Amino acid sequence: MYRAIRIPPEKGEEIREKAIAGKFLDTARKIQRIKAEEGTFLEIPVTETAGKKVEDFPVIEQKDPEFLEIPASLKGHLKGSLSAAELSHVPSGWQVLGDIIIISIPDALESEKIRIAEALLSIYPKCRSVVRDFGIEGQFRQPKRELLLGNGTETVHKEHGCFFKQDVTKVMYSKGNLEERKRMSRLGEGETVVDMFAGIGYFSIPMAVHARPKEITSIEINPESFAYLKENIRLNHVEDIITPVPGDCSQFAPEGVADRVIMGYVGTTHHYLEPAIKALKKSGGVLHYHETVPENLARTRPEERIKKAAEPLGKKAEILATRRIKKYSPGVLHVVVDAQIFE
């Protein structure tokens, strides 16, 4: 039996610290956010030493525990199966989405890719498939991937209290954008928001679940991503907040309605600045503009592009912050600029 304390979210940190101090926090399991008929709760995993109550909260049997993965070394699993030269090429990192492992395997290990996949499934017994990643391609930034082992590539990934259903061979989900997804979940309360490149709901879903805007218009041109966007709206029970719109955001973005516009796409994002600014209310609002940019231009080019796009529309732009999301490629950064647009 796995035990837990079910508590209101606002008591989470206090009770977690008491569980640590009392040495009855079960560190092998995750703290889970649970939605029930009577509201939203946190389940803090505890050991047998917790007793029947912690503070005024009863200790319950946890029905669906989630375990923290503590993987052994992949090289350690493969030692004895591969030569020393081959072991030197074994990747040190990979991504786990839901119950699927995604890994880039160098060409030098082409003949050993199935052996590597088998080792990964031994490390992660709760996962069911291993997919090889070759990067992204095309206008829709679709992943190029190969199923190495397992029985499917569709999964539901849980992150920060949100559910993201996806097929990992058809849509991208970057672990490097995690902190930005969390940041968006704290913004937009009571606002009208336009998400111009919604994908499967990367930013719309966390914002809707946690910040509870008045409404979000989520626009997505890729039919496969759009199908998962609709599914994720349903999975996260935010149909009353998010309106999904299929198509090109330069044509389908509303005008003059938004307090906040999210431009969470990189590559040609600057071409969409005009419809993004037009989507904001006449009195103005905030842009979250993403761009991939050479490192030496990260503080200047994105800001200049926003100001240049605002001027012909009779608007001004005040740069609130420029944040580094991650390193996109050698010498190139993925940044997001927060800009206040006003008359």
Please report, for the chain, the start and end positions of each structural domain, with discontinuous segments joined by +.
Answer: 3-61, 74-152, 174-342
| Helices and strands: H and E segment counts in the chain | 10, 18
As a whole number, mean pLDDT of residues 102-108 equals 96
pLDDT band at 16 (very low <50, low <70, confident <90, very high): confident
State the average pLDDT over residues 129-153: 88
**Interstrand relation of 100-103 and 129-137 (parallel, antiparallel or unpaired):** parallel
**What is the predicted pLDDT for the residue at 204?**
98
pTM of the full structure? 0.78
pLDDT at residue 109, as a whole number:
96
CA atoms within 13 A on the CB side of 333: 16
Give pLDDT, residue 252.
97
Asked if residue 70 has pLDDT above 60, the reply is no
Look at residue 135 and give its three-state secondary structure: strand
Lowest-pLDDT range of 28-37, 181-190, 289-298: 28-37
Residue 119, exposed/middle/buried by CB under 10 A (0-12, 13-18, 19+)?
A: buried
Supply 249's token pair: 């955001």
Farthest-apart Cα atoms in the chain, separation: 68
Per-residue pLDDT band at 36 (split at 50, 70, 90): confident
Q: What angle do CA 76, 82, 83 make, to 5 degrees?
A: 110
Pairwise CA distance, residues 133 & 130, whole Å? 10
Is 218's pLDDT higher than 60? yes
Residue 137 has pLDDT above 80, yes or no: no
Q: Is the pLDDT of residue 72 over 80?
A: no
Q: How far apart are CA 16 and CA 138, in angstroms?
A: 45
Over 90: is that where the pLDDT of 278 sits?
Answer: yes
Name the residue with tokens 């039996």.
1
CA 296, 298, 302, 303 torsion-angle sign: negative
* Fold of the CATH domain 74-152: GMP Synthetase; Chain A, domain 3 (3.30.300)
Mean pLDDT of 68-93: 85
Element (H, E) at 285: strand 285-294
The Cα-based distances of 210 to 84, 149, 166, 178 in angstroms read: 49, 36, 21, 15
The structure tokens listed for 308 are: 């240049």
Q: State the pLDDT confidence band at 140, using cuts at 50, 70 and 90.
A: low
pLDDT-based confidence at 241, cuts 50/70/90? very high
The three-state secondary structure class of 257 is coil
pLDDT over 60 at 201, yes or no: yes
DSSP string, 162-178: EEEEEETTTS---GGGH
Is 247:219 a contact under the CB 8 Å cutoff? Answer: yes
Mean pLDDT of the chain: 92
pLDDT of residue 32: 87
CATH architecture, domain defined by 174-342 = 3-Layer(aba) Sandwich (3.40)
If phi > 0 it is left, if psi is from -120 to 50 it is alpha, else beta; for residue 16 that is alpha
In this prediction, residues 257-286 reach a mean pLDDT of: 96
Q: Do domains 74-152 and 174-342 have the same CATH topology?
A: no
CA dist 32 and 9 (Å) reads 10
Token output for 288: 């979250």
Per the CB < 8 A criterion, the answer to whether 116 and 74 are in contact is yes
> Distance between CA atoms of 277 and 300, rounded to whole angstroms?
19
Average pLDDT rounded to a whole number, residues 288-306: 96
pLDDT at residue 40, rounded to an integer: 87
Q: Which of 250, 246, 254, 256 is nearest to 269 (CA)?
A: 250
